[in-house]
Structure 1
Amino acid sequence: MATVQFGKETSARGEFVRQKNRFTDRITADGSSGWKAEPGRYRLVVCLACPWAHRALIVRGLLGLDDAISLAVVDPVRDERGWRFTLDEGDRDPVLGIEYLSEAYHRADPEFDGRFTVPAIVEVESGRVVTNDYPRITLDLSTQWREFHAPGAPDLYPEHLRAEIDEVIEPIFRNVNNGVYRCGFAGSQEAYEEAYDALFAELDRLSARLEHQRYLVGDQLTEADIRLFTTLVRFDAVYHGHFKCNRNKLTEMPVLWAYARDLFQTPGFGETVDFDHIKRHYYYTHDAINPTRIVPKGPVTDWTEPHGRG
């Protein structure tokens, strides 16, 4: 039997249970899914604090899809109605004309009563959410939107490496991407310690893997690196303290710290990172974990120092 802890669902053992993605339609090159990849038809909604949305933001930029898929950025602090467009004039998204992302969810499903999550891709004309399936969104941007990629755009999900990429990203999701949340929202000591041990065991494995190669799969940047980066870049700022992932800071893990700086300094990565949004979202929104809502000033970290991985 599941219960609600910190506003999140947990299992009977106190394990954090991530909400399933409600909207899983795919946008495809040929439109056979019912949704055809067409420039100007869709709008990507992200929060700069959210690691899942951050993936989509990075991939969209690396592939040169900025003109094909417009971008909306929500306020990092949600209220009881969810993600807000308070960063825009008049507190409304200028393209969709809505104040809350929840409006696009309810246009797709008036009965939807789950959490309104980012990233979400919204069809501009109908104003309805097409997908909030974050693992699939980035893969489809790489494979279904090829016609609109910029010349020279990287192949982030190359066919000959897909089996290995899939194999690598599964434990990264389970133990790292979702693992930090399993630590932070654990409802029991046992569940927390299991998640903590799995997290750092996986980070140790990844460190060993990256000690003698620049990227996670092959000799090129892939989807796997993007998925790991968005957790690593938040690690010291929020996960280490706020989520009790405190065996080591990222800056105390030499291989992963150099790897993360390498990616941060790669065009398309560092400029998408907003530590103000990241810290305000986590420390202010999770008031059951941080009831004072005090946002820490630190850490002071130099992401531009040489990484030595060229």
Structure 2
Amino acid sequence: MICIAGHVGVGHVFSHSGFVQDDSQGFAVVGHMIKDLFKVRTKIESVDVDLNANVITIKTKDGGVGQGCPRRGITPFEAEMLKHLEGEEGLFPHYATLKVFGRFYGHGVSEVPVATEYAISTAVMDTFAKNIPEFYVARREDEIASDVIGGVKVKELSTAFLLTINGSKIGVGPVENLEGNVALPPKRGVMERLGVLRSPTIVVESKAYVPSLRVDRELFLVRYNQDVDNVTVAKSIINSLEEFGADYLEIPSAFPMEKGAMEKSVLEVAERIITHADKLKTLDSAIERAKIIAELVKILSEDVGGIIFMDNKLHDILTSSPP
């Protein structure tokens, strides 16, 4: 049995190392495999907005329902805009949200778009749960980390498909402690039922712009560590890409990273925020205050994306070499 895992980091547009990404592509790829195998419809059929209750409700053609409730409410104009989602493919939650709002940021900056992406993603997961026998689902009931995990095993293919929604129903975050194939509760329960706790796993990630790679074209990135990862899985992916004539880049030295890297990044970003805030206290000029606040907003809307997605200790475990 092999496992193919994909997730959506709802609102995780900016990440570490200058990444700018669509962090729903793993969800889209694995979701499309499930959709095609089980013949379910995941297009958005209806969008309803209750302004009084502050709830966005997305419904798919096969009856899946997902909801988001933005922390700072919804305006009547946003409700009108959201109707444009009808007819869009729910398996592309980031893309569909972009088509309506043009751009958005996570971390509580753009709460309505992020809550919308969450509602779309959960509507797709609910579609699978309602229409596919033995599609297992687990949820984490927390406003900040309202994660939903689902999966199904296809015995004929000796393959299990694992989907994770890392997001917040109120449109902040995301916290991605349960991304990829991290086997912590409640995700662990789904993985146990699928029988993939120790299976070779392909983790399908985001579509991203990575400045450090200096790549000037679209390609597949096969990223693994030849010392600690399953090299056979990586080489199998590369063989398939070559068979299909797909352009790819292989990085066999990805991870492990320096232990304490996340903690260090948190301190660096926090110091930048503190420096700007301290300077703000001393300014008499409204123009200068506006400049400082603009810089703070940029840090909070972009740079913090590299530090909010995972706990320090968990990051150390997942990105450091075993002893």
- Give the TM interval when normalised to the shorter protein: under 0.3
Which structure's relative contact order is higher, taking Cα pairs within 8 Å and 6+ residues apart?
2
- TM-score under structure 1 normalisation? 0.27
TM-score (normalizing by structure 2) = 0.26
Q: Larger Cα Rg: Structure 1 or Structure 2?
A: 2
